[in-house]
Amino acid sequence: MITILEETPKNPITLMGQRAGVCWGADIHDKEKNYRRGLDCIRSGHHRVMEYVNVEMIIDGYSARVIREWYTHIGGAPTRLQASTRYINYKDFSYTTPPLIEKNQEAAEIYHQTMNTIAEACSRLESECGIPREDAAMLLPLGMTTRIVDKRNVRNLIEMSHQRLCTRAYWEYRLLMQDIGKALGEYSEEWSYLVNHYFVPKCEVAGYCTEKKSCGKAKVFSAVADILNKQPAMQE
């Protein structure tokens, strides 16, 4: 469901080191040195260099709801195209079913029936009432799956992983983040290194949990807890 496009460089760390080397008057034609310089930059927290590495990918089969959350990650001006809701074939529209619903027979029946009713209503609005498809599409659910072509830099993706691999994140987003990490990890050795070391939840970066409702994996830093206890939690 994640396709990494060939415009994504196979050697992200080397590329970072090459860009940094320009500013240091270094030999940017030596791949080994570029790689080591890139690694140094990342480890030292000079993360501006990550903005020279773009990831272009097709994200397909996740719900419109999770993609709506995906769009909140705006650092570095990412861009994307999304499948139109104007040309959709209602009879075939597919949707995500949350695991908790899937394994509850009664809930699954209600859920699937509702999806069928929506598909049928959209169809009838168009065929029986002459309503244009773009208006009937207002009924489409957030659970409907969609496809996007996405382009963003790796600094944005790493920041995103800190938020979205956290157990407080929506389950489908955690899954999406893991799928992206897997696809990138398989793309090349340098990507595998980046994913394994830097695609981590925010508690692993901070050394403590910053969430009000902690999963307990990391300790909540007491000063942070005091502040958070006085504020309402966000519920995306």
Ligand X SMILES: Cc1cc2nc3c(=O)[nH]c(=O)nc-3n(C[C@H](O)[C@H](O)[C@H](O)COP(=O)(O)OP(=O)(O)OC[C@H]3O[C@@H](n4cnc5c(N)ncnc54)[C@H](O)[C@@H]3O)c2cc1C
Q: Which residue, 93 or 198, is less far from ligand X as judged by CB?
A: 198
Q: Which residue is nearest to ligand X (CB)?
A: 236
Nearer to ligand X, 24 or 171 (CB): 171
Cβ neighbours of residue 200 closer than 8 Å, sequence gap 6 or more: 161, 162, 165
- Binding residues (CB under 6 A) for ligand X: these are 72-75, 156, 159-160, 163, 166, 168-169, 234-236
For the CB of residue 152, give the shortest distance to ligand X in the complex, in Å.
Answer: 8
Nearest approach, Cβ of residue 202 and ligand X (Å): 9
* In the complex, minimum distance from the CB of residue 222 to ligand X, in angstroms, rounded to a whole number: 21
Q: Name which of 110 and 206 has its Cβ closer to ligand X.
A: 206
Complex with ligand X: residue 64 or 119, whichever CB lies closer:
64
CB of 127 to ligand X, least distance (A): 37
- State which residue, 19 or 164, has the beta carbon closest to ligand X: 164
To ligand X, the closest distance from the beta carbon of 130 in angstroms equals 37
The b-or-e profile of 79-97 (16+ CB within 10 A means b, else e) is eeeebebeebebeebebbb
168-185 burial by CB neighbour count: b if 16+ within 10 A, else e? bbbebbbbbbbebbebbb
Classify residue 216 as left (phi > 0), alpha (psi -120 to 50) or beta: left
Phi-psi category of residue 77: left, alpha or beta, with phi > 0 → left and psi -120 to 50 → alpha: left
